[in-house]
């Protein structure tokens, strides 16, 4: 036995030397519905949300999505809908875009 160096993990592995591996024997048993169920469980456990394609295409990055959602959360906290109704009752107009 040569010691600890034989059993320790390396920092990097050359993928060309690892070979093709072997297929997962259980993958065929799952089928498409099983794979979808596993993905949904993973998404739920990691607090991930899947966006529809048209929504995802509106944002250039995950950071932009988070920024937009934080803005929505802040607007809900201050009650923007209520502020607009109060302003309308008082006859106050909001700024118009130029």
Domain residues for 63?
Answer: 59-98
pLDDT band at 67 (very low <50, low <70, confident <90, very high): very high
Please indicate, yes or no, if residue 94 is contained in any of the structural domains: yes
Average pLDDT on 66-77 reads 91
In a domain, 36, yes or no: yes
Greater pLDDT, 4 or 59? 59
Are 63 and 94 part of one and the same domain?
Answer: yes
pLDDT confidence of residue 25: 82
Residue 48 sits in the same domain as residue 69: no
Question: Is residue 41, in this structure, part of any structural domain at all?
Answer: yes
Residue 90 lies in a domain: yes
Query: In sequence order, what DSSP letters do the residues of 28-82 get, joined into one string?
Result: HHHHHHHHHHHHHHHHHHTT--PPPHHHHTT-SSHHHHHHHHHHHHHHHHHTHHH
Start-to-end CA span in the chain (Å)? 78
Number of domains in the chain: 2
The Cα–Cα gap between 63 and 86 comes to 33
In this structure, are residues 49 and 43 in contact, taking their beta carbons and an 8 Å threshold? yes
Residue 64 shares a structural domain with residue 89: yes
pTM score, whole prediction: 0.43
Query: Quick one: 49 and 67 in the same domain?
Result: no
Q: Are residues 44 and 63 both part of a single domain?
A: no
Beta-carbon contacts of 84 under 8 Å, excluding residues fewer than 6 positions away, are 94
Comparison of pLDDT for 96 and 67, the residue scoring more: 67
Mean residue pLDDT of the chain comes to: 80
């Amino acid at each position: 036995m040569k010691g600890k160096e034989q059993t320790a993990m390396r920092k990097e592995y050359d993928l060309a030397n690892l070979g093709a591996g072997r297929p997962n024997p259980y993958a065929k048993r799952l089928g498409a519905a099983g794979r979808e169920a596993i993905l949904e469980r993973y998404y739920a456990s990691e607090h991930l949300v899947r966006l529809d394609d048209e929504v995802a295409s509106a944002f250039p990055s995950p950071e932009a999505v988070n920024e937009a959602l934080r803005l929505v959360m802040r607007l809900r906290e201050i009650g923007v809908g209520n502020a607009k109704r109060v302003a309308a009752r008082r006859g106050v107009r909001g700024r118009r875009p130029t």
